[in-house]
Amino acid sequence: MGGSLARALRPFAETITGVDPNPVSREYALANGVVDAATDDLKAGVSEADVVILAAPVRTIIAMINDRIGAYLRSNTLLIDIGSTKADICDAMGRLPIGIQAIGGHPMAGKESSGVQESDATLFRNRPFVLCASRRTTPATRDRAIALATAVGAMPIEMEPQRHDKVVAAISHLPYLISAALVATVAQQAEQDDAVWKLAAGGFRDTSRLAAQDLSMTGDFLSTNTQAVATLLAYFRMQLAILEASLIAQENGKLVELLRPTREARIAWGKQDEARRNAK
Amino acid sequence: MGGSLARALRPFAETITGVDPNPVSREYALANGVVDAATDDLKAGVSEADVVILAAPVRTIIAMINDRIGAYLRSNTLLIDIGSTKADICDAMGRLPIGIQAIGGHPMAGKESSGVQESDATLFRNRPFVLCASRRTTPATRDRAIALATAVGAMPIEMEPQRHDKVVAAISHLPYLISAALVATVAQQAEQDDAVWKLAAGGFRDTSRLAAQDLSMTGDFLSTNTQAVATLLAYFRMQLAILEASLIAQENGKLVELLRPTREARIAWGKQDEARRNAK
């Protein structure tokens, strides 16, 4: 995601410096013109920057904000992150030295595959780019962050960090957990009958895809969004129980009627989503 | 699926007749060379056939077998279905007149979109094609069904109908129900905050895709596979509860360790699946 942002910001930036502990990523980014310079030294990478974008798992972003980065930045630097949850990050930003313009960000775009090798300048086009104010967000910070989101083709949407975290609990974190529980269930069945893995096809592929996500990402978004995710899990259990009761009672007509509004909601959203993607 | 089979069998069949109550589908199939003839009259469509393939929701297939088709078929006609569950269909096949060669089938291939307009001759290539014997399956029936599956490029796999139904409960029917419960949960959240629909992206798209499936298909596969699906739901609940307990207790390290084997299982399956799809 950091690499995609670098590519998308290319036409708007004088110099882009990538900071990454992984030498393979740095070399790739340099060799492919994703960045102009690359280093594993955070201080060296950010001390002259006008804009700093933190792209990492949530707890790594928080650690960078808490431990070091405040002392490295020039005054008036725009500091924005693109972590998966916003409340804890915006809290940490609020404790940065006055003068740093810090705002939370979350572009609602993703790819199956991660890494700078997969970076894509068009990733953010027509996608929402959530911006969450911190105590270090001034009116100028907002304007600069909106300009950045607009520059990469995204649609900036401002909201409270807590509201953002509730929304992503529903659309990202709950789907991840049920995807993981599905794979665990299927793997358990496959121990008894390996035809399970052999016959699995498109339906399983889609529903289980999120279970392959990087654990440093998922562990961090879950543990920084516990309450919202736990609440959604309770609601999900209720919805599933309603379907299950009707299934087991063999109330077939009723089961279909329960599934109908769900199907219609998914189809309606799918059309909007499709239109948005085609517009890109 | 029926249209895709017709296209895939094109090089092997003298005449293909499509039987469909929908005039738009019949006209499309005729105009585009999917079939040589089309009718809405089941008797007329099947009475001269050497091979009859029943492609419909499970209960429609069972109704065709129970109500009419036995009397219409010539002796030695191969009757195969491609319904989503097999036990009830194979039971019904077992009550057909002796002389009809009936066997249950299920090609493990699917598309997001259905209808003859979306038919694709390559849909079955390198995909498993499950065959389930009924009391009307002779050795010749098996041989002919295997030849049919092989002709369309699929890999025939023979198994007991009950075993098939348990496997698809895990890889298709459980994923469908949790996908539907996810959409119901998200729709409920969206009533409180419509940013939920606006921000939903790829993760939600994949995990919720199955919820848009045709209700006549899903209602029938659920209601003809109740016990296996209900059993899987119980196992799924346990897997989700294990993750949930660790999440709520904020045992972050433990949660990641619980998710690790699941991630690895999904990645390992994904590689096999990818290799199979690339081979196609």
Question: Of the candidates B115, B140, B158, which is a domain's last residue?
Answer: B158
List the single residue in B with minimal CA-CA distance to A206: B206
The answer as to whether A194 is a domain residue is: yes
What residues of chain A lie within 8 A of the CB of B256, using their CB?
Answer: 215, 218-219
Q: Are residues A49 and A185 in the same domain?
A: no
Q: What is the ipTM of this complex?
A: 0.94
Q: Are residues A112 and A209 in the same domain?
A: no
Of the partner residues B193, B205, B230, the one whose CB lies closest to the CB of residue A167: B193
pLDDT (tens digit, 0 to 9) for every residue of chain A, 280 residues total? Answer: 899 999 999 999 999 999 999 999 999 999 999 999 999 999 999 999 999 999 999 999 999 999 989 999 999 999 999 999 999 999 999 999 999 999 999 999 876 667 888 889 999 999 999 999 999 999 999 999 999 999 999 999 999 999 999 999 999 999 999 999 999 999 999 999 999 999 998 899 999 999 999 999 999 999 999 999 999 999 999 999 999 999 999 999 999 999 999 999 999 999 999 988 887 6
Report the sign of the C-alpha dihedral through residues B100, B105, B111, B112, in that order. positive
The answer as to whether A29 is a domain residue is: yes
Q: Are residues B168 and B141 in the same domain?
A: no
What's the CATH number where B86 sits?
A: 3.40.50.720
CA dist B127 and B171 (Å) reads 15
What residues of chain B lie within 8 A of the CB of A130, using their CB?
Answer: 199
CA-closest candidate to residue B81, choices B117, B138, B134: B134
Interface contact flag, B201 A127, Cβ < 8 Å: yes
Report the sign of the C-alpha dihedral through residues A137, A143, A144, A145, in that order. positive
Provide the domain limits for residue B216.
164-249
Interface contact flag, B171 A110, Cβ < 8 Å: no
Q: Distance (Å) from the C-alpha of residue B47 to the closest C-alpha of chain A?
A: 33
Q: Are residues B137 and B44 in the same domain?
A: yes
Report the sign of the C-alpha dihedral through residues B215, B221, B224, B226, in that order. negative
Strand bridging mode A128-133 / A101-107: antiparallel
The answer as to whether B263 is a domain residue is: no
CA dist A260 and A266 (Å) reads 10
Q: Are residues B146 and B213 in the same domain?
A: no
Q: Taking the CA atoms of chain A, what radius of gyration do you get in angstroms?
A: 21
- In angstroms, the Cα distances linking A173 to A80, B226, B246 are 22, 29, 15
- What number of other Cβ atoms are within 10 A of residue A273's Cβ? 17
**What percent of chain A is helix, strand and coil (3-state, nearest 5)?**
60, 10, 30
Query: CA B42: distance to chain centroid?
Result: 22
Q: Taking the CA atoms of chain B, what radius of gyration do you get in angstroms?
A: 21
Confidence (pTM): 0.94
Which residues have CB under 8 Å from B91's CB, separation 6+? B134, B161
- The residue of A59, A118, A204 whose CB has the most chain B CBs within 10 angstroms, and thus the best one to mutate to test that interface, is A204
What residues of chain B lie within 8 A of the CB of A218, using their CB?
Answer: 256, 259
